[in-house]
Amino acid sequence: MEEQESRDGSRGTLGRRRFVTGAMAAAAAATVGPLVGAPGARAAAPSLLTASVTGKRVAIFGAGMGGLSAAQELAERGFQVTVYERKSLGGKSRSIPVPGTAAGGRRNLPGEHGFRFFPGFYQNLPDTMSRIPFGNGNTRDSLVNAQLEVIAYKGQQLRIPVPGSLGGVLTPDSLRDYLMTALSAVRTVPLLQIEFFVSKIIAFATSGPRRRLGQWENMAFSDFIKSSAMSEDYRELLVKMFTASLVAAQPDKANTRTMGLMFEALAFSAIGLGPYGPPDRVLNGPSNEVWIDPWISHLTGLGVEFKVGWTATGFTHSGGRITGAQVTDPTGAAGTVTADHYVAALPVERLQPLLTTSMKTADSSLARLSNLETDWMNGVMIYLREPRPIALGHLIYAGSPWALTSISQAQFWKNDFAGTYGDGTVTDCLSLDLSDWNTPGILFGKTAKQCTRPQIVQEVLAQVRAALPGGAALLPDSLVHSWFVDPAITGEATSTVANDEPLLINTPSSWSNRPKATTNIPNFYLAADFVRNSINLATMEGANEAGRMAANAILDAAGSSAAKATLYELYLPPEFNALYALDDTRYALGLPNKFDLFSPYWPGH
């Protein structure tokens, strides 16, 4: 099996690995103390630990991507893992079946927090999926190729020829030519403005690591590409479309390093550079059916214990270490979890209230978590009576006030939709992500937060129809069977509107406020998408990478001889190594990037 060197110099096998023995897999993971005031409360079960596994009890709080990924890496290496989850296994990536919609032996209609998207530059997560048995293969086999090619804008459908090839070897010029060709479809943007935008992407792509962290991390993307000086079409098609649709952030909030990395990675994936796969991949069924449920089953077989409905309420920090975690069980009864290692795989807004003053004093990066920002990106599903494969992949509704993106699910799913889900009359699901909850819509003049759930759906349909050519005829009301809005949204159209599952956004300078997976508290680790990681974006991939880093740190702390989990980084082409070195020198001298050219044509220069 092929091996790859990880960032810390260790080597990990890329194939499926098993490090767990039957005795270790059967052992209890963490000890839960008697629950205060619980009827029939009982003492913890006698310890099954032996000298050979002492120091290997791990308590993970949160069963999203970070928590499940850490659990897998540790369980494969013989650690005793218990995962505590307050809500649902799978976190934001889970399926959310719509209650009461099944009939005739079918399953409930599939809902979700937001559609799944596996770009080709994801490497850590697909590797994990390749080690989850499913059917005659593994869950990575559930990924199918789509085409990230369509933009709907003001009644036009623009097809971007994303996949392609370079004219020869990779150079700044050949990359520029490719990007100009790829963006030729956005013909309503003045050519000089497209050229300027591409020149900025080239400047980023040839920037060294020092400039990326020291300059681009601290600059808003809108300033980098001079959004305010350009046309409306430029702002809608080349700026807001990517920032709001990809990271649920306004261009003046998203930092240049994060957005530059995404542009760069998408382009390299489309060209076929490095280890990347096709630029747009999706699952061939609901997330739980073809991925999450097999994952939970696999982890359970490795000895991982799951406690759903258990909520972490605090940590006890004494003698420089975590000595216990306070939890409530599904009945609300309180108790204490004790383990050798504690992994907080919680969203940043959930973790912050659990941190004590002494924990923040011990590690100042924990105190800085309060500086991180979140925003909303949630799903709306429209169930249709007839198939509507509007695009062969993800479709971006550029210029839509609510920054909508969608995918037509049925064309990718292996099961017959009508025969498997609902009442037999639903044949497709138009699954949408709503990324801007703060801009007034076109139908009611209200923000999404100010609308009722039915109004949200009506507004979404109005914006989709306005963006698509022939949209009203393509999606008439008669075609709509029913709809579903992410239940994480509560109190809609009231002053108490809230989102139980917001998304971290990468604001300028946010890297300095993001912690590592390891902390200055020796037995306390972090495994969530806000952790510093290679992809530098709140994604499934980033959370998976954080879980791997937390697992590796626990291996070190436990003195384990097991091979480390491999850490895959975003690809940087070796052809640009000399340019990166040159730019680091120029940055140290206070000079701009060699390709960051400014013409007098552009206002402000």
Q: 340: domain CATH number?
A: 3.50.50.60
Q: 107: domain CATH number?
A: 3.30.9
Q: Give me the pLDDT at residue 148, please.
A: 62
Query: Does residue 595 fall inside a structural domain?
Result: no
Answer with the one of 254, 277, 300 that is the final residue of a domain: 277
Cβ atoms of 342 and 315 closer than 8 Å:
yes
Asked if residue 4 has pLDDT above 60, the reply is no
User: What residues contact residue 561 under an 8 Å CB cut-off, 6+ apart?
Assistant: none
Answer with the one of 499, 527, 547 that is the final residue of a domain: 499
Average pLDDT score over residue span 364-369: 98
Query: Does residue 299 fall inside a structural domain?
Result: no
Query: Does residue 159 fall inside a structural domain?
Result: no
Task: In whole angstroms, give the CA distance from residue 296 to residue 94.
Answer: 12
- Rounded to 5 degrees, φ, ψ at 220 are -65, 140
pLDDT digits (tens, 9 = 90+) for 219-247: 999 999 999 999 999 999 888 877 776 66
Q: Are residues 169 and 258 in the same domain?
A: yes
To the nearest whole percent, how much of the chain has pLDDT over 90?
77
pLDDT digits (tens, 9 = 90+) for 85-104: 999 999 999 999 999 999 99
Q: Are residues 313 and 216 in the same domain?
A: no
Average pLDDT score over residue span 339-357: 98
pTM: 0.89
Asked if residue 556 has pLDDT above 70, the reply is yes
Q: Are residues 58 and 35 in the same domain?
A: yes
Q: Are residues 518 and 490 in the same domain?
A: no
Query: Does residue 67 fall inside a structural domain?
Result: yes
Q: What is the mean pLDDT of the chain?
A: 88
- What is the spatial order of strands in the sheet that 305-308 belongs to? 305-308, 80-85, 57-61, 341-344, 524-526
Q: Are residues 26 and 38 in the same domain?
A: yes
Q: Give me the pLDDT at residue 516, please.
A: 98
Q: Are residues 177 and 265 in the same domain?
A: yes
User: What residues contact residue 232 under an 8 Å CB cut-off, 6+ apart?
Assistant: none
Asked if residue 254 has pLDDT above 80, the reply is yes
| Confidence category of residue 3, pLDDT binned at 50, 70, 90 | very low
Q: Are residues 435 and 330 in the same domain?
A: no
Q: Give me the pLDDT at residue 183, please.
A: 86
Asked if residue 8 has pLDDT above 50, the reply is no
Domain with 551, as residue range(s), is 13-87+309-372+514-557
Q: Are residues 380 and 482 in the same domain?
A: yes
pLDDT digits (tens, 9 = 90+) for 286-324: 999 999 999 999 999 999 999 999 999 999 999 999 999
Task: In whole angstroms, give the CA distance from residue 259 to residue 244.
Answer: 11
Asked if residue 604 has pLDDT above 50, the reply is no
Q: Are residues 258 and 271 in the same domain?
A: yes
Asked if residue 71 has pLDDT above 70, the reply is yes
Q: Give me the pLDDT at residue 597, please.
A: 77
Q: Are residues 380 and 494 in the same domain?
A: yes
Q: Are residues 252 and 171 in the same domain?
A: yes
| Confidence category of residue 44, pLDDT binned at 50, 70, 90 | very low
Query: Does residue 31 fall inside a structural domain?
Result: yes
pLDDT digits (tens, 9 = 90+) for 163-199: 566 767 899 999 999 999 888 878 889 999 999 999 9
| Confidence category of residue 39, pLDDT binned at 50, 70, 90 | very low
| Confidence category of residue 261, pLDDT binned at 50, 70, 90 | very high
Angle in degrees, 0-180, between the axes of helices 65-75 and 540-557, rounded to the nearest 10: 40
Instruction: Give the number of domains in the chain.
Output: 3
Answer with the one of 258, 277, 296 that is the final residue of a domain: 277
DSSP letters, 467-508, are HSTTHHHHS-GGGEEEEEE-TTEESTTSTT-EESS-EEE--T
Q: Give me the pLDDT at residue 54, please.
A: 60
Q: Are residues 327 and 422 in the same domain?
A: no
| Sign (positive or negative) of CA dihedral 70, 537, 165, 209 | negative
Q: Which residue has the higher pLDDT, 246 or 372?
A: 372
Average pLDDT score over residue span 26-33: 40
Query: Does residue 156 fall inside a structural domain?
Result: no
Q: Which residue has the higher pLDDT, 45 or 187?
A: 187
Q: Give me the pLDDT at residue 247, please.
A: 65
Query: Does residue 450 fall inside a structural domain?
Result: yes
Q: Give me the pLDDT at residue 73, please.
A: 98
Query: Does residue 131 fall inside a structural domain?
Result: no
pLDDT digits (tens, 9 = 90+) for 450-496: 999 999 999 999 999 999 999 999 999 999 999 999 999 999 999 99
Cβ atoms of 380 and 457 closer than 8 Å:
yes
Q: Which of 13-22, 178-187, 214-223, 361-370 has the lowest mean pLDDT?
A: 13-22
